[in-house]
Amino acid sequence: MKKFSFWLLQLAIGICSFSFSACAGDTTRVGDKPGIGTGADKESLQLPAGFGAVIFAEGLGQARHLAVTSNGDVYVKLQRLKDKKGIYRLHDSNGDGKADEMTGFGNYIGTGMAIKNGYLYASSDEEVFRYKLNADNKVMNPDKPEKIVTGLLRRGEHEAKAITLDNSGNLYVNIGAYSNACQVEDRSKGSPGMKPCPILDSAGGIWQFRADKLNQSYGEGIRYATGLRNVVGLDWNTATNTLFVMMHGRDQLHDLFPDLYDTKLSAELPAECLYELHKGSNCGWPYIYYDQIQHKKILAPEFGGDGKKTAGEDAQDPVYAFPGHIAPNGLLFYTGNQFPEKYRQGAFVAFHGSWNRAPEPQKGFFVAFVPFRNGKPSGEWEIFADNFAGSPEMAASGRANHRPCGLAQGPDGSLYVSDDAKGTIWKIFYKGK
């Protein structure tokens, strides 16, 4: 009987997903056409009308950030070595939309991946390297990168060194705070917050380095912005000529302060914030958090807050606030012409998906979009690409098939999304109505 109900369940789930696709009027389901994917992967993304997607590559494991060359090759950074390699170049030689050549190099794990002025930049959790690209955008000396930055702190929490570059020869590196809320004892109930927070001198911010100078560390870099708990998604916005970052907001308001926050409120708060940074920016962590329900900067409870007291007059406001804990791991300002007018100059955000909403249902596991005009958000956010988790139930349980992490734009204006649960890379394109 048990076995029978198991198979019935399998059948029901199969038919369930079919019936969803049959009645989803404004959503294009893709990914299971012949010639796309391996045929084994029947999962499909949900996209707005007129958009399609192909699986460009899969099986890469923990695929973090990625970058696309001018001839459409993809470089992707892995957080776990695959066949002893931490970076892969993916090339589609026959133009069928799927990478058929995979070349690995680099013996270190990490997150950051960017291309600028003929170089591929890659980060480990402590360093940033760069590799010269040839005319075909191939790495010339895969075993001899130049070490641009070294000796950054890695203390086991928020260790990813996400990177981006501007158009003036600067490299920006996230150095995440190795703490949740800068308590004396991290994540311990009753342990007070430290003021001033000693972490902020060497972490909890974005550091600026020269993109072409070797062996820089804290002494050669500039703490460009502070009060940022952890940033994984960041991008240089060429329309405003400024750096934008998505901060991962603090965890565990209910665990640490059950009298002030119930589990429902703790699942929503604080916001995941988009900030526009300038040299000297301060975003307020750990002393405050942004409450997207009250639209206020609230004094963190570790520093005497009660969920209502405002603070952080010296800290800047976010330019946009998303629901809590959904984990923004990729940010991309769209500069292509392929997507419809609405998407141009707007921000795509890859939400890795939550864990800190439990016991409430988990959320995230999608790519969101916020429209921008004149350098400011011009409308509400919406889900652009969904169903990375595999089903609403898998998203709610947090046991997602795929978790969106990196975003990159191809030379034709397509959007690439990486997944660090299984290592799938999708190419999303606009087909027209």
Interacting residue ranges for other proteins, rule: CB under 8 A? 5, 8-9, 11-13, 15-16, 18-20, 22-23, 62, 79, 156-157, 159, 180, 185-191, 252, 254-255, 258, 355-356, 358-359, 393, 397-399, 403, 421
Q: Of the two residues 216 and 424, which places its CB atom closer to other proteins in the complex?
A: 424
In 3-state terms the chain splits into helix, strand, coil percentages (rounded to 5) of: 10, 35, 50
Q: Of the two residues 55 and 256, which places its CB atom closer to other proteins in the complex?
A: 256
Nearest distance, CB of residue 155 and other proteins, angstroms: 9
Q: Of the two residues 9 and 49, which places its CB atom closer to other proteins in the complex?
A: 9
Q: Of the two residues 157 and 166, which places its CB atom closer to other proteins in the complex?
A: 157
34-68 residues labelled b (16+ CB within 10 A) or e (exposed): eebbeeebebbbbbbeebbbbbbbbebebbbbbbb
Nearest distance, CB of residue 165 and other proteins, angstroms: 26
Nearest distance, CB of residue 182 and other proteins, angstroms: 13
Residue 384 token pair = 């652009």
Nearest distance, CB of residue 358 and other proteins, angstroms: 5
Other CB atoms within 10 Å distance of the CB of residue 147? 13
Separation of alpha carbons 287 and 200, rounded Å: 12
Burial of 361: CB neighbours in 10 Å, binned 0-12, 13-18, 19+:
middle
Other CB atoms within 10 Å distance of the CB of residue 205? 27
Closest CA to 350 of 366, 334, 363, 335: 366
221, amino acid identity: G
Closest CA to 89 of 109, 73, 113: 73
Q: Of the two residues 20 and 218, which places its CB atom closer to other proteins in the complex?
A: 20
Nearest distance, CB of residue 266 and other proteins, angstroms: 8
Nearest distance, CB of residue 420 and other proteins, angstroms: 8
133, amino acid identity: L
Nearest distance, CB of residue 239 and other proteins, angstroms: 34
Measure CA 322 to chain center: 14
Q: Of the two residues 106 and 353, which places its CB atom closer to other proteins in the complex?
A: 353
Separation of alpha carbons 213 and 355, rounded Å: 39
Q: Of the two residues 5 and 107, which places its CB atom closer to other proteins in the complex?
A: 5
Nearest distance, CB of residue 397 and other proteins, angstroms: 7
Closest CA to 287 of 194, 351, 369, 350: 194
Q: Of the two residues 112 and 145, which places its CB atom closer to other proteins in the complex?
A: 112
Other CB atoms within 10 Å distance of the CB of residue 430? 19
